[in-house]
Chains A and B, each alone.
Chain A
Amino acid sequence: MPFLTPDESEALLLSLKISSVAVAVALPFATATALILSRSFRGRTFLDGIVHLPLVLPPVAMGFILLMIFGTRGGVGAFLKDHFGIVLVFRWTGAVLASMIFTFPFQVRAIRLALEARDQGLDEAARTLGAGAFDRLINVSLPLALPGLVAGAITAFAASLGEFGAIITFVSNIPGETRTLPLAIYTALQMPGGEAEAARLSALSIVIAFLFLIAAQTIMRRATRKNEG
């Protein structure tokens, strides 16, 4: 990329990698959660609250909590390290975990809206034609909710690109490992004369986020049209 320095393109590629992996790993869980939340049961409000908590929690606080839990001296962190050799803290995989948690509500919300808007009548039709619950989910409900899944994934991806507080607190600011675009902007601002770089990276962030939002909208609109009739 000619208009970016090697460090800057490294930050951009790292951001894209962390966000894509976060969204891909979270998608099945988000779908399952959305399915659970689209039914009524005792404790639904509670689960709904837990899922949406990251939206209102200060990111730095969340990063700190993650550090306590997954740090190598934290309970879960030590267990993962001793038994599986998995270390999340100060690694890009830790940034993935932080992004997953923060973008989870976006995914769940979009998928749930799509699932709730689906035609129950088609589900009944599939039942009378011999389709069991799992069969109907895979072949009728989810394909019809696909636009919601895709839109949720794209929105989550765009939101994930901007995650700062939790990442810097949990996995620090290591070039090539955890220094994503927002962290690179912050780092540039810490250096004398870094404003030009910060401005370039900020403009880049805006363009990327905007492109993804447009993509999400377009997919939603197309899919709504497609499923009519």
Chain B
Amino acid sequence: MSAEVAIRHRQGAFLLDVAFTAGKGVTALFGPSGAGKTSIVHVLAGLTRPDRGRIVLEGHTVLDTDKGVFVPPEKRRAGLVFQDVRLFPHMSVETNLLFGWRRMGKRADAAEIARIVRLLGLEKLLQRSPKHLSGGEKSRVALGRALLATPDILLLDEPLASLDQERRAEILPWLERLRDIARVPIFYVSHSLDEVARLADQVVLLDKGKVAGFGSVFEVLAGCGAEKPLGAVLEAIVGGKDGDLTELIFDGGRLLVAEAGEKGKKARVRIGADDILIAREAPIAISANNILPATVLEVTLDGTRAEIAMRCGSARLVARVTAASVRRLELAKGLPVFAVIKSVTVEGN
């Protein structure tokens, strides 16, 4: 499963020039507004025909401007969930759901349809009209409509953007389930660091129409974010109890947290860059529960501040400290240190 993407497209003063190859799972297109996220999705779906480009989805070339290949959207099997939902107002929820299914070869059988309807919690809404649905319900119908068209690739353009905080919390678990059952690559457009950290497998960092970074979510996101930068995203297995705390085991060590879900399950952990302290020697008599051995990868000085990237097992940690601390601790590449973690956020899978 893969999607090969290369696009060059000028729109007024804006130049979109990106190239990346996304593997299986969820690829987040992440960046500030105006970075070109939605433009990429529209090119992927075929709604925009770029000046130059080549897109290969699951082995099918759907766009190659050099060879004059352009598969129109209606033939492309790219399931797009729009930012503004776009349900057909003159049709029932059920007719909306089956719109693409009917036109894309009816690949899902009755059992599969029932499963998706149940998965998205739409059983009781089928005969309703979209205009009588809440924002969260509309988003779920839009997801179901795209899924039932059995696309080769699923494009989610800020599916949570039109929702308030509470509704987002309601939809996120549905998206996680979707990620776990979908057999096709998913592109997820978002400008929310938390959403991306929680859902993505890979991240394409976008800025002003260019790729500013590309790689695994565990690598790329550490250090991202301006106000509350992320220090690390890592995946761990829920272990046993240690007193009132639960163990989370990953290849860089173990973390102790208050809540982590069922034993043996995977959990995704987020740590804020400001919640990581650095010590040269293993601290003793300290209130923090989590102290991980790590190696300094890189020190980036920025005026009086500094960003320290560290390796801990396969995880990448980024801490923000002052330039004065860097001098005092003589932090440099290759130095073994201890990362003291003040708090972590855990999301069950």
Interface on A for B, CB 8 Å cutoff?
119, 121-122, 124-132, 135, 140, 143-144, 226-229
Residues of A within 8 A of B73 (CB): 124, 127-128
**Is B86 in contact with A125, judged by CB distance below 8 angstroms?**
yes
In Å, the complex CA distance between A125 and B72 comes to 13
Partner of A128 from B47, B88, B89, B131 at Cβ < 8 Å? B47
Q: Are A130 and B131 in contact (CB under 8 A)?
A: no
Which residues of chain B come closer than 8 Å to A119, judged between CB atoms? 86
How far, in whole Å, are A132 and B46 apart by their CA atoms in the complex?
A: 13
Does B74 lie at the interface of the complex (its beta carbon under 8 Å from any beta carbon of A)? Answer: yes
B89 near A135 with CB under 8 A, answer no
Given A121-B84, A124-B47: A129 in contact with B100 (beta carbons within 8 A) = yes
Interface residues of A, dominant DSSP = helix
**Binary flags per residue of B16-47, CB closer than 8 Å to A gives 1, else 0:** 00000000000000000000000000000111
Residues of B in contact with A (beta carbons under 8 Å apart): 45-47, 72-80, 82, 84, 86, 88-90, 99-100, 103-104, 130-132, 145-146, 149
Residues of A within 8 A of B75 (CB): 130
Nearest CB in chain A to that of B149: its residue: A129
- Whether A129 contacts B72 in the complex (CB less than 8 A), given A122-B86, A124-B86, A228-B131, comes out as no
Q: Quick check: A130 and B149 within 8 Å, CB to CB?
A: yes
Q: Are B82 and A126 in contact (CB under 8 A)?
A: no
For residue A124, which residues in chain B have a CB less than 8 angstroms away from its CB?
47, 73, 82, 86
Of A124, A226, A228, most buried by chain B (CB within 10 Å of CB) is A124
CB pair B89 A125 closer than 8 Å: no
Q: Are B72 and A127 in contact (CB under 8 A)?
A: yes
Query: Chain B residues with Cβ under 8 A from A140's Cβ?
Result: 88
| Most A CB within 10 A of own CB, among B45, B79, B86, B145 | B86
Instruction: Looking at the assembled complex, report how far the CB atom of A144 sits from the nearest CB atom of chain B, in whole angstroms.
Output: 6
Chain B: CB-nearest residue to A225: B131
Q: Can you list 29 A-B pairs, Cβ within 8 angstroms, ordered by A? A: A119-B86, A121-B82, A121-B86, A122-B86, A124-B47, A124-B82, A125-B80, A128-B46, A128-B73, A128-B74, A128-B76, A128-B80, A128-B100, A128-B146, A129-B99, A130-B74, A130-B75, A130-B77, A130-B149, A131-B99, A131-B103, A135-B103, A140-B88, A144-B89, A226-B89, A227-B90, A228-B89, A229-B89, A229-B132
